[in-house]
Amino acid sequence: MNATTRFTLLAAAALVAAGCVKETRPLPVLQATQATTEIPDAQLLDVGVHIFDPGIPKQLEENPDLAPKLLIYPEIRRAEARFAAMQLRDTLEGTGHWGTARVVPASVTSFDVTVDGRIVESNGKYLTLEITATDATGRVWIRKQEFEGLADTRAYKDGYSAGRDPFENVYVHIANALLEARGKLPPAEVANIRRVSELRFAVDFAPVAFGQYLEQDRRSGQYRVLRLPADDDVMLGRIRQIRDRDYGMIDTVSENYAAFSERLEEPYTYWRRFTYDEIVAAEKVKQQARNRMLMGAAAIAAAVMVPDSCNSSSCARMADYARYGAMAGGVAGVISGYRKREEAKIHEETLKEMSGSFESEAAPLIVDVEGRTLRLTGTAEEQYAEWRKLLHELYKEETGLVPVAPLAPAAGAAAQGARPAGAG
């Protein structure tokens, strides 16, 4: 077998292989570790899940036209940052190992355990989240650890009724990692975390009255209890009432946010399913394009390098035909590769169009507090920040921490579209 024949057979084999798509096996259905016995209330830690950082690259913010190339659409990423935080919260609550889990703004740090997340990669096929978890004392449980996974494509099938997110396994891994970190702490330290959490909340609302009970190390940033207020301390009792009410208000906002997530779930699942198809198709097309261009270029090179060793005119003519035929086939392969590249660009444009239709679902939240209707816009972080400002003003009035004055809209509320009750 001469060199030209060997090259022809190898080229044919490569092109055939390029057209094959291997099916992946179904992913295992993982479940977060469940509590098998009832955990005493004193050992249940409340978890605050901060709305995730959407992970939008600076280059994309400066040049939005890069979105199709990077497969990152800012409005979708911001919605995903909210959705992912809610998914993790739901996973944690379902285990029975924690007190309550709430989605809160980054400015709220007085929870027993706080979880921060950043989206590293998110589309219909892949999800990678970077997670950091810290308890109220400042001890880091998880430091910028990445949790990643492929989509469970069963969730994309019509009629799927299991109710699992395509990336539920990722949230399960995070929940189990948090549980493992908590399991390393003795009961006395868990109780200490709860004490520090309460005192940090008290200092936030009444720093003069409670600052003497808590100290923060300047080097490590960790908190320690200097002494405890008396059990019958009137101010502490009031702070506890404020905290319960604060949790209630956050729960009210969370209910609106959960409803928002439910509205997003169907179009978001639809978007992820077709994003998955687009990514798989684009990856296949790009691989085919690369293979065709490589094989075409190789065919051209082989044609040029066909040895001219014929001694008769008929042999020379046959060699020329083979050379020209191989070159023509190689040129056709290169052209086909370029066409495949253009097809890949069409898939990317389809992604961009789908993102536009998805963005229309991210509507502002309309919420009520103390008989006032507010229209909160912006990111979820900004919406919660407006709530927090309003609650602080209400609490200060009730406790007499500031002179009573007519309650004005929360700072920036006008800019965020605040409306009086009954406004349309």
Q: What pLDDT score does 272 carry?
A: 82
Domain-embedded: residue 384? yes
Q: Which whole-number Å values give the CA distances from 338 to 141, 144, 290, 344, in the listed order?
A: 50, 41, 9, 10
- Which residues are CB-neighbours of 41 under 8 A, at least 6 positions away? 99
Domain-embedded: residue 330? no
Domain-embedded: residue 21? no
Q: How confident is the model at residue 148 (pLDDT cuts 50, 70, 90)?
A: very high
DSSP secondary structure, 37-60, as one string: SPPPGGGPPPEEEEPPB----HHH
Give whichever of 115-124, 149-158, 314-323, 415-424 has the largest mean pLDDT: 115-124
Provide the terminal-to-terminal Cα distance of the chain, rounded to the nearest Å: 83
Q: What pLDDT score does 204 carry?
A: 83
For range 127-152, the mean pLDDT: 97
The number of CA neighbours under 13 Å toward the Cβ of 20 is 8
For range 377-381, the mean pLDDT: 59
Q: What pLDDT score does 282 carry?
A: 73
More reliable by pLDDT, 424 or 258: 258
Domain-embedded: residue 396? yes
Domain-embedded: residue 402? yes
Nearest CA among 242, 248, 245 for reference residue 210: 242
pLDDT in tens, 214-232: 999 988 899 999 999 988 8
Number of structural domains (the chain) is: 1
Domain-embedded: residue 353? no
Whether residue 121 is predicted with pLDDT greater than 60 in this model: the reply is yes
pLDDT in tens, 319-373: 554 545 555 555 555 455 455 455 545 544 554 454 454 455 445 666 665 666 6
Q: At what angle do helices 168-183 and 74-93 cross, to 10 degrees?
A: 50
Domain-embedded: residue 80? no
Query: What b-and-e string marks burial along 309-332, b requiring 16 or more CB atoms within 10 Å of the CB?
Result: eeeeeeeeeebeeebeebbebbee
Q: What pLDDT score does 235 carry?
A: 84
Domain-embedded: residue 320? no
Whether residue 417 is predicted with pLDDT greater than 70 in this model: the reply is no
Domain hosting 424: range is: 364-424
Nearest CA among 68, 8, 28, 75 for reference residue 363: 75
Q: What pLDDT score does 114 carry?
A: 96
Average pLDDT of the residues of the chain: 74
Q: What pLDDT score does 2 carry?
A: 47
Q: Which whole-number Å values give the CA distances from 354 to 56, 76, 239, in the listed order?
A: 18, 10, 48
Q: Which whole-number Å values give the CA distances from 307 to 3, 174, 310, in the listed order?
A: 10, 62, 9
Q: What pLDDT score does 365 carry?
A: 61
- The C-alpha angle with vertex 422 and arms to 416 and 424, in degrees rounded to 5, equals 60
